Every structure is written in structure tokens, then in C-alpha cells.
Amino acid sequence: MHNVKSQTITKRTYRKITPAVVAQFKAAQIRYGSGTAAIRAIEPDEKDPRRRAWLISTKCKQMNNDSFLNFLLEQIGEDAINRIGEMVNSSDERVATKNSHYVIDQVRGMPIKMSRLTKTTLNIESVID
């Protein structure tokens, strides 16, 4: 009979590769010179940094700029709406009023500000006379 050691199987923690992770990886890759070194720096508890770097690099090739920007705008937009809500509901009446007017103007559309541009042509002879 063979002597078999009991092995404890530990599940790998799955970390989603989001556009933010890709951007952080790309920045760290430039800073540290390689993908593996970048993973070691930004995810020090990663057991297999070479594989993680490969996975993120593969995802980088699949992700286009439009999807990255849309994802970031979705995240930032939620924060912006919450912040505007806090300013509109501020206990300081000046802040609340000013931001309320700003939000209403943005929702309705800013009135067109007319500016008159005058174009004059000067002739040197007419200026001297």
C-alpha cells in the first residue's frame, strides 16, 4: 500500500480583473519594468504572480478604451451624484441654494450667453489721416 499524504486543497481567491485593475497593472508594469514585478508590488499576497500578470495582460488586449472609459464613468458618476446630493442638502443655506440653481441650470440646459464680436479692419492711411 502506498503512503499517501493528506493534502489540504485550498481554493484560490478569485480577484476580478476590472478596468481599474488593468490600469493599475499597466502603471505598475511601467514603473517596475515587468508584469511579474508589478504584480508582486501591487498584490503582495499573490501566490503565482507570473500567472496573474499573464491573465491581466491577456485581459488588457481584450479591453478597448471605450469600455474602460464607460466603466470608469459609471463609477465616478455615482460618486458625483451622491456628492451633488450632499451639497444640495447642505445645512449651509448659501451652499445649498447655489448648488440647487446650478443643478437646475444643468438639467434645463444653460441659457445661451451671447457675446458680440466686432470685427474692424484698419487701414494705416485712414488712421494717419
**Per-residue pLDDT tens digits for 96-114:** 888 888 888 777 766 555 4
Higher-scoring residue by pLDDT: 121, 60 = 60
Q: What are the grid coordinates assigned to 30, written together?
A: 511601467
Q: Give me the pLDDT at residue 41, please.
A: 93
Among residues 39, 66, 65, 64, which one has the least CA distance to residue 50? 39
- Rounded CA separation 56/25 (Å): 8
- Rounded CA separation 74/62 (Å): 20
- Rounded CA separation 17/23 (Å): 10
Average of per-residue pLDDT across 37-60? 87
**∠ CA 90-95-100, rounded to 5°:** 85
Is the pTM above the cut of 0.75?
A: no
